[in-house]
Structure 1
């Protein structure tokens, strides 16, 4: 999710910082969701509402945007060296999907496999040289034709469009609330994954991911992050525009809430997706502006976490699923949103310190290194940093 493809492709600290911000925001969402168990009996509080409004749907979208940008970095670096990279990128995605599938056995909310499988679409689109065409396709994705179809069909009275979405039925949840490790693993092998994919399809996130990949690719091509000074005026205009869109979508979302099916429900889903996209875009624009206006010194604390997002993302589940679920300590039953938020913030501090210390001794995060070795089919990739030679 964050590994640079080869030694010749320079990393951009600002993108690593954005990726680190996205990962930490997504982690807070997972903490307030008790890694899925919150949805067994959702009970909104000011804390959950604040965290979900700030980060839910936005940080996931930001990771997808960064994924598209990373694809540009890899393909551009290979092109500069005169090396074909499409085949190697497909192999990298295959390995990433395998990591995601294994992670999904522990935590069914895994997004790695979603990003990996959707990433194959980027390969043919890299041959499209027109950025306008790419943005047009991305815009079509953001319009959510699938959801628009449901709205139109429901308004016309089609019975199938008036039913509740499939992901509202969640047979795996009962296993999460009572099952042991073996039962949870079995549930996540099929039932949990089916529910997750229905969620990504019905909320429009699958199509949204494709659009974000293409936007990330275009941002790489135009040097948006490499030379952000060129886009100062454009960023200001874009920030005003997305703020207006976010406000309009928030109002529409508020007016269409409370329905479990039908055209109004799907309109609410559509408005929520657009709200999340607008807020994500605003967060990128604000982050870039803060970075350039002197905030780089503070925001750089996020850079190491952005360089090992894959390892940290998987590690978060390996630690907190056993803490929350009955298969381990079962803290879900005694957890409150304020306590979950406090633990999450403390865990973020630990991850920031751990990542910074890690890169003093190693070149890559552990899973990033294994992923890189798998891509090259060799364990000859340097892992531990060599100590600096001492001057006499």
Structure 2
């Protein structure tokens, strides 16, 4: 992110680079298999191996929600910086174009888009740009409690339905509600799985038709159901920027303190959550309680700890750090580019690998994708001022073609 003097805050680029790579570690499952497999490793289409379960556990502790949270922190921090260095009308125009990019991503490329949510919530976050650190943190905590309450309500709803379903006394309406609740979060029925595989192994036009007709309001529902947490993270990112956390202004001792506190509090809770999830065979109420509700309270502190770890680990710079920073400077291009590459690998109009690989195998693809991000971003930015999509976004925001080559 550039300051008003045209200089970049290197720490933000580095943390953003780690975040955009880390997001793929979780999103890869949503690209490659039925939606429920994201939350429940037992829902993957191919037989589950021990390596798949180990991969799930590692991702659950280290990546699930944390990279999205970290990215949201950075988005809030970037909004604050832009509001300080650009006219507010330009910032809003930038969010408007992000909304359109997100809509194109959602309807034409992949159902898991987060840009629509970021753009919509970003307009709300701008209202808090002048708030103090304490006010930002306090507001964020209230929003997180609201999000927690929503997840608890989902847990209670699943408990209310599960009893009649398991006992065989459920009405037709209860069975329908149970199927709608669990097909994308716990376990799809054989019929739903077959439908999903046929859809994603089919032509691109069928996917677009499905998004436009069946999932058109999915982003709107997501904003109202899960946007509380996203706004909270953006506000915490603003507070983290104002405090100096995200600019690298803290000394090593302070970063180490928050890293150790975060890990000491959060890691045991995540290990307890894993125990409950595995012992219940990922029963719906347990997934909603631990993967959704409990995690919503734990994630903010874990995101802070991860940010501190990244900053400490990259203090001395070096070739790898420079490449991570470049990946962060081209994060928009890397995010959307990853979607295009992944659906090309997994969907039927491409290589058609959908529903054919387990989590451990998908982890190898993630590592390869990380390598590509690190390899292309730095040489590109040596020759050009921006990543290709960053340049388009900037040109549209300013409504004039920006210089591209250095």
Q: Normalising by the residue count of structure 1, what TM-score does the alignment of the two structures yield?
A: 0.82
Q: Please give the residue correspondences for 1:61-140 in structure 2 after superposition, counting only pairs within 5 Å.
A: 61-78=69-86, 85-105=87-107, 106-128=109-131, 130-140=132-142
3-state SS, counterpart of residue 354 of structure 2: helix
Does residue 289 (structure 1) correspond to residue 312 (structure 2)? The answer is yes
C-alpha distance 253-376 of structure 1, shift in aligned 2 (>3 A): same
Does residue 339 (structure 1) correspond to residue 340 (structure 2)? The answer is no
Runs of at least 5 residues in structure 2 that lack an aligned partner in the other structure: 38-42, 164-176, 185-191
What is the alpha-carbon distance in structure 2 between the residues aligned to residue 152 and residue 45 of structure 1?
28
Per the TM alignment, residue 347 of structure 1 is displaced from its structure 2 partner at its CA by 2.3
1:352 to 363, 370, 374: 374
Does residue 168 (structure 1) correspond to residue 168 (structure 2)? The answer is no
- After superposing the two structures, state which structure 1 stretch, 283-292 or 184-193, moved more: 184-193
Tell me if the contact between 2:12 and 2:247 (Cα under 8 Å) persists in the aligned partners: no
**Structure 2 partner of 1:46:** 54
Does residue 151 (structure 1) correspond to residue 173 (structure 2)? The answer is no
What is the alpha-carbon distance in structure 1 between the residues aligned to residue 367 and residue 218 of structure 2?
29
Does residue 317 (structure 1) correspond to residue 318 (structure 2)? The answer is no
Per the TM alignment, residue 216 of structure 1 is displaced from its structure 2 partner at its CA by 1.1
Tell me if the contact between 2:33 and 2:355 (Cα under 8 Å) persists in the aligned partners: no
Per the TM alignment, residue 92 of structure 1 is displaced from its structure 2 partner at its CA by 0.7
What is the alpha-carbon distance in structure 2 between the residues aligned to residue 54 and residue 260 of structure 1?
22
**Structure 1 partner of 2:68:** 60
Tell me if the contact between 2:152 and 2:293 (Cα under 8 Å) persists in the aligned partners: no
- After superposing the two structures, state which structure 1 stretch, 216-225 or 34-43, moved more: 34-43
What is the alpha-carbon distance in structure 2 between the residues aligned to residue 265 and residue 334 of structure 1?
24
Per the TM alignment, residue 309 of structure 1 is displaced from its structure 2 partner at its CA by 0.9
**Structure 2 partner of 1:185:** 208
**Structure 2 partner of 1:238:** 258
What is the alpha-carbon distance in structure 2 between the residues aligned to residue 136 and residue 295 of structure 1?
34
Query: Which digits, 9 at most, give the CA deviation of each residue in 1:309-333, with x for residues without a partner?
Result: 1111111111220220123221124
What is the alpha-carbon distance in structure 2 between the residues aligned to residue 178 and residue 214 of structure 1?
40
Per the TM alignment, residue 160 of structure 1 is displaced from its structure 2 partner at its CA by 8.8
Query: Which digits, 9 at most, give the CA deviation of each residue in 1:136-186, with x for residues without a partner?
Result: 00111222x244256379769996999659663457835533431111011
What is the alpha-carbon distance in structure 1 between the residues aligned to residue 380 and residue 111 of structure 2?
28
Per the TM alignment, residue 361 of structure 1 is displaced from its structure 2 partner at its CA by 1.0
Q: Normalising by the residue count of structure 2, what TM-score does the alignment of the two structures yield?
A: 0.80
**Structure 2 partner of 1:371:** 393
Q: Please give the residue correspondences for 1:218-229 in structure 2 after superposition, counting only pairs within 5 Å.
A: 218-229=239-250
C-alpha distance 161-195 of structure 1, shift in aligned 2 (>3 A): farther
Runs of at least 5 residues in structure 1 that lack an aligned partner in the other structure: 79-84, 386-392
Per the TM alignment, residue 251 of structure 1 is displaced from its structure 2 partner at its CA by 4.6
3-state SS, counterpart of residue 186 of structure 1: helix
**Structure 2 partner of 1:390:** none
CA RMSD of aligned residues (A): 3.1
1:142 to 121, 134, 144: 144
C-alpha distance 319-148 of structure 1, shift in aligned 2 (>3 A): same
| Matched positions, count | 368
What is the alpha-carbon distance in structure 1 between the residues aligned to residue 10 and residue 158 of structure 2?
52
3-state SS, counterpart of residue 314 of structure 1: helix
Per the TM alignment, residue 346 of structure 1 is displaced from its structure 2 partner at its CA by 1.8
Larger RCO (alpha carbons 8 Å, 6+ apart): 2
- After superposing the two structures, state which structure 1 stretch, 38-47 or 156-165, moved more: 156-165
What is the alpha-carbon distance in structure 1 between the residues aligned to residue 363 and residue 18 of structure 2?
16
Does residue 329 (structure 1) correspond to residue 351 (structure 2)? The answer is yes
